[in-house]
Structure 1
Amino acid sequence: MKTLGTKIAEYRKLKKMTQEELASKLNVSSQAVSKWENDLSIPDLPILIELSDIFNVSLDELIRQKENAEIARVVEPQLRKDPEQMMVKIVINSSDGDKVRINLPIPLVKAGMAIGMSMPQVNGKEALQGIDFEQIMKLVDQGLVGKLIEIESADGDHIEIFVE
């Protein structure tokens, strides 16, 4: 989990700004920016709003410590993680009461696709068979992250696929 201070520092560096430059834009001291980035204090709400505008992120993205994997979104190129460092997470809650959690590194998914592997059945269910992982990988390469697929089958199975 990233703190607000960590996020401010990361976003500032992605914008190739110094603490002094950010402080100047916000009409605060560079010491104030340093305190925020070291989690010794937090900016007031009007400054948080300005920060979200400067960094071109939502207030939610800026201040929440937990990543919101529920929302599929396209991440700006300079803020994207390397897909080789990302995971595909599959959550299956079957009508039979089974709970399955699968975490697959994206390089493993791509390697499996390259040799023609398909998604296995889970507990005899075929809901995962129709998912086009090649298309999902293309979307990930274009910066899409979050919950990408949610399936509720007629027999009560619930499947979600996230990319983080």
Structure 2
Amino acid sequence: MDHFSMGKHIAALRKAKGLTQDELAERLGVSPQAVSKWENDLSCPDIMLLPRLAKIFGVTVDELLGAAPPKTVALVPEGERKNLDDLMLRIVVNSAKGDKVRVNLPMQLVKMGLEIGMSFPEFAGNDSFKGSEVLKNIDLDKILLMVEKGAIGRLVEVESAQGDIVEVVVE
């Protein structure tokens, strides 16, 4: 079994986000040398930095530490798919301004709402929160179609140039 290297994992996550060591260091308020030491397994990030580091990379702290597999998209064969009643749609919006939106809906409720003509803002409430603009652009019909064809996992992950992060997961 391969040995987990937190340093290699941090380096891979950083590169996947298109960040340099200097940029990551600046976002965390540490020196570029500290990031280099982490990535070369000479030291580890301070425990108080782990939630911020995980947020920057769009993973959980468990995923960052290698304790949980990353949520990836999987296409489940027809005979092995879960019933729609057993699946949840999770939408996470973290705006660069600090707004956070968490939506957790049973897929069956999403399907029923779409069948009677509801749109996403009606599912999510009104426009009183700043993340509602992002939610308006999520096409639930397409997500439902993907799920009915067997797609599960992290279906959408977007980080805007302004630093807003949107994640759509079906599990």
Per the shorter chain, which TM-score range? 0.5 to 0.7
1:92 is paired with a residue of what secondary structure?
Answer: strand
Are the counterparts in 2 of residues 69 and 147 from structure 1 also a CA contact under 8 Å?
Answer: no
Paired residues for 1:8-157 under 5 Å: 68=69, 70-120=71-121, 121=127, 123-125=129-131, 126-157=133-164
Find the aligned partners of 2:116 and 2:162 in 1 and give their Cα distance.
32
Aligned residues: 100
Are the counterparts in 2 of residues 148 and 162 from structure 1 also a CA contact under 8 Å?
Answer: yes
> Percent same amino acid among aligned pairs?
43
Find the aligned partners of 1:122 and 1:131 in 2 and give their Cα distance.
18
| Equivalent residue, structure 1, for 2:166 | 159
Shift of 1:133: 0.8
Shift of 1:69: 5.8
Per-residue CA shift, 1:86-105, capped at 9, x if unaligned?
Answer: 00001111112122221100
Shift of 1:115: 2.3
Per-residue CA shift, 1:54-86, capped at 9, x if unaligned?
Answer: xxxxxxxxxxx95x4621110122221111210
Q: 2:119 is matched by which residue type in structure 1? A: S
1:127 is paired with a residue of what secondary structure?
Answer: helix
Find the aligned partners of 2:111 and 2:80 in 1 and give their Cα distance.
22
Find the aligned partners of 2:70 and 2:81 in 1 and give their Cα distance.
14
Are the counterparts in 1 of residues 99 and 130 from structure 2 also a CA contact under 8 Å?
Answer: no
Larger radius of gyration between Structure 1 and Structure 2? 1
Shift of 1:116: 2.0
1:155 is paired with a residue of what secondary structure?
Answer: coil
2:114 is paired with a residue of what secondary structure?
Answer: helix
Shift of 1:118: 1.8
TM-score between both structures, scaled by the size of structure 1: 0.54
| Equivalent residue, structure 2, for 1:41 | none
**CA 1:122–1:145 in 2, change beyond 3 Å: closer, same or farther?**
farther
**CA 1:138–1:160 in 2, change beyond 3 Å: closer, same or farther?**
same
Are the counterparts in 2 of residues 149 and 160 from structure 1 also a CA contact under 8 Å?
Answer: yes
